[in-house]
Amino acid sequence: MNNMVEIATEKEREELLLLNVQNHPAKDQVFFEQYFQDAFSRNKTYYLENDTRIYATMSMQEHPLRFQDKVLLCSYIFGVATHVDYRGQGAMSELMHYVLDECAQNYLLTFIEAYNPKIYEKYGFRTVSYRKKLHLSKRDIRIKDMQGISNHVDVDVMVQLYQEFAKRFDCYYLRDREYYLRYVEAIERNGGSIHFCYDEDNQPLGYAISYQKNEVVEVDEIIYLDSHTLCKLLRQALQDKENIIVEVSSNERIEKIFKNIVPRTTSCVMARINNVPLYEKLYDVKIRSVDEAFYKLKKPVLLDEKC
């Protein structure tokens, strides 16, 4: 296949959305619907097309990242999809080389979320973080104190809490007020709920974002400053349901709180250093691999892009 890589415009939006929805797990469909409605025009989506259809695509967005003591503008690849009739013919590889060439000219680090990491290792990506899910029931969340819970949405409080929560980590995306305004709009449009927790002095302690899926509640994100707040937010998100699913990064050891629950890995985040000499100069280190660069971090990694 030698078709030219194109950058999508409004004309291709619906066809690209359909291709992504057909190629990704059901849990990601809301994300792609949100992306193609809200963020499509702000980012780049690449595709390959023949006379019949668009048969391969991937998207890339840039995002500020705090990595150790520096703020970098990094790139994040997602929405990698190939039509079933064109798999195994090199379409994804052609797109990936094109996008990575562009990333190498503009970004020191590139990230990608993967369900099958081996696919991306040949492009220089290495796994640096995992996502995991815990399935909990109401009886697992043993808490009676529900003081300080509120459903009044405050974007500035969300920014403040995320900044405080992220101090535990050495590699994380930066989020500002504009980010949260988009995020809250998408949550409300998709029928989600946002729960807040405050202490007795009305100081914020955490927030959780949840969706009701039939008889199960799914927590899409939970930011908390202590384990007591975590439990209160999960209990509030449950409402009158019996079961809840919470997804967090692998570096959050919340299974220590729920001792009989075994988490399940759902996906991983992989990283690629696009310019090793520049990285070594910037951080005054010598590295032999991506793994070594991340191993040198003093704190864990938190990488979860929402909008």
Which residue type does 156 have? D
The CATH number of the domain holding residue 102 is 3.40.630.30
Asked if residue 180 belongs to a domain, the reply is: yes
Average pLDDT over residues 226-250: 94
Instruction: Note whether 57 and 19 are within 8 A (CB).
Output: yes
Residue 1 maps to a domain: no
Alpha-carbon gap, residue 225 to 145, rounded angstroms:
16
Domain annotation covers residue 307: no
Task: Give CA separation, 51 vs 31, 48, 91, 288, in Å.
Answer: 29, 11, 15, 44
Judge if 191 and 259 occupy the same domain.
yes
Does 189 lie in the same domain as 101? Answer: no
- Residues 288 and 182 placed together within one structural domain of the fold: no
* Residue 144 pLDDT class (50, 70, 90 cuts): confident
Kindly state whether residue 152 falls inside one of the protein's structural domains. yes
Domain total in the chain = 2
Its pTM stands at: 0.90
Residues 10 and 37: their CA atoms lie apart, in Å, by: 11
Whole-number Cα distances in Å, 184 to 113, 203, 249: 22, 21, 21
Q: Do 106 and 161 sit in the same domain of this protein? A: no
Is the pLDDT reported for residue 227 higher than 90?
A: yes
User: Is 250 in the same domain as 273?
Assistant: no
| Sequence-ordered list of residues with C-beta below 8 angstroms from that of 116, at least 6 positions apart, any chain | none
Task: Supply the pLDDT for residue 266.
Answer: 84
Return d(Cα 241, Cα 138) in angstroms, integer.
8
State how far the Cα of 46 lies from the Cα of 102, in Å rounded to an integer. 12
Residues 90 and 142 placed together within one structural domain of the fold: no
pLDDT (average), residues 67-86: 93
pLDDT of residue 27 exceeding 60: no
- C-alpha–C-alpha distance, residues 176 and 187, integer Å: 17
Q: Domain check: are 249 and 176 in the same one?
A: yes
If asked whether residues 118 and 141 sit together in one domain, one would say no
Domain that holds residue 115: 6-130+268-302
The C-alpha atoms of residue 243 and residue 211 are separated, in whole angstroms, by 12
Per residue in 103-135, pLDDT (tens digit) is: 999 999 999 988 889 999 999 999 999 989 999
pLDDT over threshold 70, residue 307? no
d(CA 56, CA 46): 8
CA 183-212-256 angle, 5° bins:
85
Looking at the fold, whether 157 and 83 belong to one and the same domain comes out as no
- Domain co-membership, 188 together with 244: yes
Owner of token pair 């459903």: 151
pLDDT tens figures, 186-216? 889 889 999 999 999 999 999 999 999 889 9
**pLDDT above 80 (res 37):** no
Residue 30 has pLDDT above 90, yes or no: no
